[in-house]
Amino acid sequence: MDAIDPDLLRTFLAFAEGGSLARAAAVVNRSPSAVTAQMQRLEALIGEPLLAPAGRGRSLTPVGEELVDHARRILDAHRDAWLSLRGARADGRISLASTQDFADTTLPDLLRRFARSHPRVRLDLRIGRSKELALAFDQGQVDILLTMRQATATDELLVLREEMIWLCSDRGLAAVDAQLPLAVLDPPCGFRSAAISALESAGRPFRLAATSPSLSGLRAAVVSGIAVTTRTARFLGPGMAPAPMHLDLPPLPVAEFSLRVRANAGKPATDLAALLADGLPWNVPQPRPGA
């Protein structure tokens, strides 16, 4: 029986969770042709087709769908074994700074896994806004930084690209207005700048209907139907949905998040950073289409 390279399974899961070879290529940082070659190698090892033509793209075959759960379990076991062997005797203290987007979605499961494998390591967690956390990182107060990308940096371990989307109450806007009501965070904020720039470029009249220093305030404004906002699919939650098509909102740029590690960070910090770099790309939510 031939062993399956974990890299092939990672690429396969990137396709299964992203829905296209192009998205898989972006997640694993390979060219589409390299991803196609990896899928062909995996199919040869399995001895069955995993992908089938579907319109202009590909979809999973029944064998491919069955492999998804096996691939997740194999990669989880591989990751847990690696962490456990490295973390049993590790100690010390790690400071991790992240935006709320990740704290509400992907981080809890990954941090729990790290805490189990590194029981003697103390983790200090900071949740805040990108600009403030980046300043703390630059001042040496933070070991690992997970925020919206400010600029290219030599200490980047991962760059995660996610679609910006318009979000609205799942009941629609509470009132019709000639000017689009917009909810944004206080500046500086990359999502705020992207939303305003897109609306101005499209010549779409708008007004700032709600501003907030926190994501909880932003969420309240959107769920109540007071305004629309711009985030990624990570911000989706109860009472919220992608903005409906009839609002005819302009396209948005791609949001970039970076995972950075302090140059002289200790071994436990680099272990955690490696776990995040490995686990974050597989947990990118996909937006549900608006009605």
* Residue 228 predicted with pLDDT over 70: yes
Residue 207 lies in a domain: yes
| Beta-carbon count within 10 A of 122 CB | 11
Q: Quick one: average pLDDT of 196-208?
A: 95
The mean per-residue pLDDT over the stretch 95-120 comes to 86
pLDDT at 291: 46
Among the ranges 20-29, 183-192, 275-284, which has the highest mean pLDDT value? 183-192
**For residue 215, what are the domain limits?**
165-252
143 and 191 assigned to the same domain: no
CATH number at residue 47: 1.10.10.10
Query: 125: pLDDT confidence band, cut at 50, 70 and 90?
Result: very high
Of 69, 85, 101, which closes a domain?
85
Q: Which residues of 185-218 are buried (b: 16+ CB within 10 A; e: fewer)?
A: beeebbbbebbbebbeeeeeebeebbbbeebeeb
Whole-angstrom Cα Rg for the chain: 21
User: What's the pLDDT at 55?
Assistant: 75
Q: What ranges in the chain are assigned the alpha helix state H?
A: 6-18, 21-28, 32-46, 62-87, 100-103, 107-117, 130-138, 190-201, 215-223, 267-279
Judge contact between 290 and 243, C-beta under 8 A: yes
Mean pLDDT on 196-214 = 94
Please tell me the distance from the alpha carbon of residue 26 to that of residue 22, in angstroms, as a whole number: 6
Helices (H), 224-291: 267-279
More confident residue, 261 or 106: 261
Is the pLDDT reported for residue 68 higher than 80?
yes
Q: Are residues 245 and 260 in the same domain?
A: no
Q: Do residues 20 and 49 share a domain?
A: yes
247 shares a domain with 265: no
The predicted pLDDT at position 268 comes to: 85
**How does residue 95 score in pLDDT terms, banded at 50, 70 and 90?**
very high
Least confident residue range of 69-73, 178-182, 251-255: 69-73
Q: Is residue 142 domain-shared with residue 272, that is, in the same domain?
A: yes
Could you tell me the two tokens for 212?
């907030």
289 within domain boundaries = no
